[in-house]
Structure 1
Amino acid sequence: MKIFKILFQFYVFSNLHVSIAVCCLVQITGTLFKVDVFYESLLLAFSTFVAYHLIRYLNRFKYGKVHLLDRFSNQYKRAIVVMNVVAFLGSIILFFQFKFLELLRLIPFGVVTLFYAFSFLNIHGERYSLRYIPGLKIFIIAFVWAGVVVFFMLDFSKQTFLYFLELMFFVVALTLPFDIRDYNFDIDKIKTLPIVLGVKNTKFLGSILLFVSTALHFYNFGYHGFWEFTCVNIVLLIMLLFSRTKQSTYYASFWIEGVPILYYLIVIYT
């Protein structure tokens, strides 16, 4: 049983879980718009894996900032390096499956990710990245997630823009339990929404965003995928409302982060 526990821990904390979640959102988008997104889902999954580790590495080794998973990163350093090399090479190979103009769509979101990762702001002698602007962190994450999932494979239109907003609000609500979990860890470092608004008001905001995202879906697609999305939003709403500053180890990192995977499973099996 110990080996299964180790494998499960590695799956969650190595960012494999979140990478698969992004892949599932891409597949759902393909289903809604009736387009083949096989290569797009692989590329964004690989890129997410590398990007999340890049951000963790930069904050730790370049800027000396503590991360909750530093101990895990030390314990499995070699395996993580190998997986990042494989994911990076996979991303390079997949780049050649797309036209140059298609890849250009990723640039704005890649730039925002770099500004999120690199501490380029100099305030009173201290260097900060975009994530340290009060209340902005979660919206940057949601903007990048929704942006690459929607606009990498779809042309800009009223429908795709509304879907982008729907997905962005969904991802904000999805990410709030993480900020609630990290409340005590972040309080002297990053002014996240739970610190700025308070935990109760943050849950209220997340509830409103889930309602708005559901309404946007119905306005945009009618009943196409509506009940599946509504079901997932109800699950996420319940999990958001039960979020605490003191959570079990896997409440956010596995169960919350697995909601897009649940969404995908509901879509393909209903």
Structure 2
Amino acid sequence: MARCLPFGTMREFSDQPPLATSFLPPVFRRGLDAVLYSSLLVAAAATGLTWATFLFWQDQIPVRLGALVFTATLFLYNIDSVLPYKHRQQAVLSARKRWMLRHRRALLLLALSSLAGALGLFWADGWQPLTLFLAHLTAISLLYSTPVVRRHGRWWALRDLPLLKIFLIAYVWSAVTVWVPALHLGKALREPAVGVLFARRFFFILNLALIFDIRDFTKDRLSGTRTFPGLFGLRATKWLGLAFLVVSALLLPPGVSAPHVLVLTVPTLLAGVIIWFAEETRPDYYFALLADGLMLVQFLVAYWVA
């Protein structure tokens, strides 16, 4: 377990590329960094999970809806990474953080262009009747790490509330990737199939969120954010993540055949391996490529069995 650093210090990680990618030419590593650290992979994962929900209901995702999910995710993640207050934080200066600092202007332009695209798609596809529903997800996403309340001499964001981080993340991701497709297809959110699929996705994302809590262990300790690793330790956090995966695996949507169940366990097993071997000292690629990539594995599995 990494030792918590004193306030006012900054810990740096090596600029050397991870061993797994050290054989790649520099131009390819730079391209991989751009895909991972500009949240292009995350946006693709959100689109893939949304598509997987459509496949479960034996339908195809509308191209413009997929583009809306992609651009909205790209905006929210990149606008968060360029907020001024984040660059004044006393935190761990990882390779990912340094890349974002160097490309802050480009990330801002990407965020603004993604916002323009998302608003255009929102208007063109007639999502206006769901403005309040989508607005509350957007509000949670924006307030997740934006300090809005000053208490006891410090500014608080939603993520600073003890142990709330992972549940906010899981709720927004599940709502976007399950409820949005359900609403598009005219399904009631209270339908049993919708509820089971939402809960299955919710507990799967909870495990992924814990993986990133492990990555951010020192940073969260320095900023005073109380997370599961900080309060209960890394080993207990890993067991909790495995428990979330077990619950997710047991929540089987109606009508799923036995062969499909076996195939659908692949992402769950991979998620269990990744959280068990997660350590704060792992390279950024371990989290940005493997953990985020698990969501694309979910889509590929759903596409294969559809």
TM norm. shorter chain > 0.5: yes
- The structure with the largest alpha-carbon Rg is 2
Answering whether residue 87 of structure 2 is matched by residue 52 of structure 1, we say: no
Moved more, 71-80 or 249-258: 71-80
Answering whether residue 42 of structure 2 is matched by residue 7 of structure 1, we say: no
Moved more, 64-73 or 45-54: 64-73
Q: Deviations over 1:81-140 (max 9, x none)?
A: 332233122112211213322444312212222331321222112110110011111111
State the identity as a percent.
Answer: 25
What residue in structure 2 maps to residue 24 of structure 1?
48
Q: Give the Cα–Cα distance (whole angstroms) in 2 for the partners of residues 102 and 84 of structure 1.
A: 23
Structure 1 stretches of 5 or more lacking a match? none
Q: What is the correspondence of 1:1-270 to structure 2 with a 5 Å cutoff?
A: 1-38=25-62, 39-58=64-83, 60-61=84-85, 64-66=88-90, 68=93, 69-95=96-122, 96-154=124-182, 155-156=188-189, 157-189=191-223, 190-216=225-251, 218=252, 220-223=254-257, 225-270=260-305
The alpha carbon displacement at 1:184 in A equals 1.9
TM-score where L is the length of structure 2? 0.81
Distance 1:219 1:160, change over 3 A: closer
Distance 1:63 1:126, change over 3 A: farther
Q: Give the Cα–Cα distance (whole angstroms) in 1 for the partners of residues 152 and 162 of structure 2.
A: 16
Higher RCO (C-alpha 8 Å, min separation 6) = 2
Distance 1:198 1:132, change over 3 A: same
Distance 1:62 1:14, change over 3 A: closer
Query: How many residue pairs get matched?
Result: 268
Contact 1:159–1:220 (8 Å) recurs in 2: yes
Contact 1:228–1:263 (8 Å) recurs in 2: no
Distance 1:188 1:74, change over 3 A: closer
Q: Give the Cα–Cα distance (whole angstroms) in 2 for the partners of residues 116 and 268 of structure 1.
A: 32
Q: Give the Cα–Cα distance (whole angstroms) in 2 for the partners of residues 120 and 84 of structure 1.
A: 21
The alpha carbon displacement at 1:150 in A equals 1.5
What residue in structure 1 maps to residue 14 of structure 2?
none
Distance 1:221 1:167, change over 3 A: farther
Contact 2:51–2:299 (8 Å) recurs in 1: yes
Distance 1:223 1:98, change over 3 A: farther
Structure 2 stretches of 5 or more lacking a match? 1-24, 183-187
Moved more, 35-44 or 165-174: 35-44
